Chains A and B, each alone.
Chain A
């Protein structure tokens, strides 16, 4: 019991974790309360199915194609590590393979939905001035956060000093463009990797996908494509949150009857 209390206390202390508690071997034999049982079930149920939130219904190949997601930069701007994600090159213009994009986007949206389901803090980052307003309104509409301005040096790595003690860092960072205004990789990609924060990023043919947890190869320069991504992320996050509310209502109604 002491070990269990210590684990629970430690988990609440660390700001990075999002309400998840670890069940150690010694605590399995201890009697669990009904509340813990219900919350365990709420957290474990979505992990049993591969596409619990049915995010693959939100988009189709035709939608991606019509939003010009397959158009990449010129082959002279290509990043070496993006070559596996390219379908080919047409008259010096790279074409991104939408079949691979479909798979990666489904994984990324599924992960985002799970994070939103577990009450995680999601941060949208993009340094493209053309889409700054779009990203900020997207974050507002799904109740999450956005950072589309100049990124100060130690925002994630030096957060204790710069933002105050016990600041809760984001549990997921979504990059709608990994490059900053001078075509270098955004500092937050490296910093998120340093702080063990998973990232979802739309990587164009001139971006470096190596530090990103869930890269989504696709066009990040056309307004139609950006609107599509913002809409998809907003819908998945709202789906995850609504599902959580629904599960809590259902289990909340059934738990008191079980305890009797």
Chain B
């Protein structure tokens, strides 16, 4: 491969990390699909001889991409998905077994297969092509995920219901609009200060003919008794079924719990992360941005005397979530562990450790 190609690849990676650092990319879906595109290029353009080599390359490049924006868990999820794909393709190529058998392993079989650890070192000439093909399947899964979620809307939204939502989630927006095609219902949007994304969502819903009302964050509790269902989006689904969602979601979830209103979360599978909440601080979980939305810089003197924090996310514990709607159907939070084991290989949950073991 000519040197020019690797240079271009390097440039691509640079521009991706730059975009992530600056926060230029909006929406989990675009981050996910860009990550996958970049990883496909890495697989296609770098030199490797065995699956082990490839996995190490994907891991190290993946870690670099992840470190560009630690709070963006989707990047890590995609890296893990692709690692899992490589593992599967390698096993099927070396053993000649078909995929279906692999994915339907019983717990008993999984336990047994643990013993014969793979070393991923033998040569498999068809690996590259088959991995790239499998990744393109992953890509089409990403592309259709929003559609698949919104297709389930009619099962959850009934006529003349009052739905509460918050912030601006593209998935929820699609979901509601899809339901509105056949049913008539009312939507209450919580604006979510200090970013006020809720106002944008409300505008877009109202334009498509849904009866919409915007309320501020403090009115959530007062109005909750009138609500039939709360439907929100999320940034990440944590390994325990908890949410990392827009600031303000926790308060809504608590209010919903108090009034026993079901809380439904629309989230595509690529948002499922094998991470647990271990600390509320930025490192592990949150993202703190410039305080100017809370108090403008032109405020003057007071700024020197005040501590202003502007966290982006809230943690919503799994007890408060009634149902997840993903592209593969509805699931309870308690089932998330099973989805995790289907999507990711347990060795990949912590990329740092698994790297050391090899």
Q: Do A and B come from one complex?
A: no
B residues contacting A by CB (< 8 A) are none
